[in-house]
Amino acid sequence: MSRKILIVDDEPNIVFMLSHRLKQSGYEVVTGRDGQEALEMARKENPDIIILDLMLPKMNGYTVCGLLKRDAAFSKIPVIMLTARAQESDKKQGREAGADAYVKKPFKSEELLDIIERFLSQPQ
């Protein structure tokens, strides 16, 4: 059974590249383009992991992550923040929102895959 990954980013090139790479690695991929879609897709698709941009239309990634982590039905889903914002204050805010990992753009897909595999290999 393949594991499902939700990618939420408003940059189509990143979504395309990540989706392609993850599908090649055997994952099922669902996507969203803004914060509201992120919540809707998480609730509808119940992914095994979420890759979430910070700077999104409608609702930022911090808010999305916080809402999901405060909901018992979704609090155990690992959230990887994927963003160009790399100040220590941004990382701190991500941790406070409940993010499980923080990856800076530009990123190497191998590093992101390693993080994904590490989270998915942990017992829930």
Question: Is 68 in a helix, a strand, or coil?
Answer: helix
**Residue in this structure with the two tokens 């701190």, named with its chain if needed:** 92
Question: Is 61 in a helix, a strand, or coil?
Answer: helix
Cβ proximity of 35 and 52 under 8 Å? no
The predicted structure's pLDDT at residue 28: 96
- 71-81 pLDDT tens trace: 999 999 999 99
Strand order across the 4-8 sheet:
28-32, 4-8, 49-52, 79-83, 101-104
- 80-113 pLDDT tens trace: 999 887 788 888 888 899 999 999 888 888 999 9
| C-alpha gyration radius of the chain | 13
The predicted structure's pLDDT at residue 107: 86
Nearest to 99 by CA among 55, 56, 60, 62: 62
- 17-48 pLDDT tens trace: 999 999 999 999 999 999 999 999 999 999 99
Note the pTM of the prediction, 2 decimals.
0.94
> Domains in the chain, please, with CATH?
4-121 (3.40.50.2300)
Nearest to 90 by CA among 38, 66, 54: 54
The predicted structure's pLDDT at residue 15: 95
Q: Give the pLDDT band (50/70/90) at residue 12.
A: very high
**Which whole number is the average pLDDT over 65-69?**
96
Q: Which residues fall within 8 angstroms of residue 110, CB to CB, at 6 or more apart?
A: none
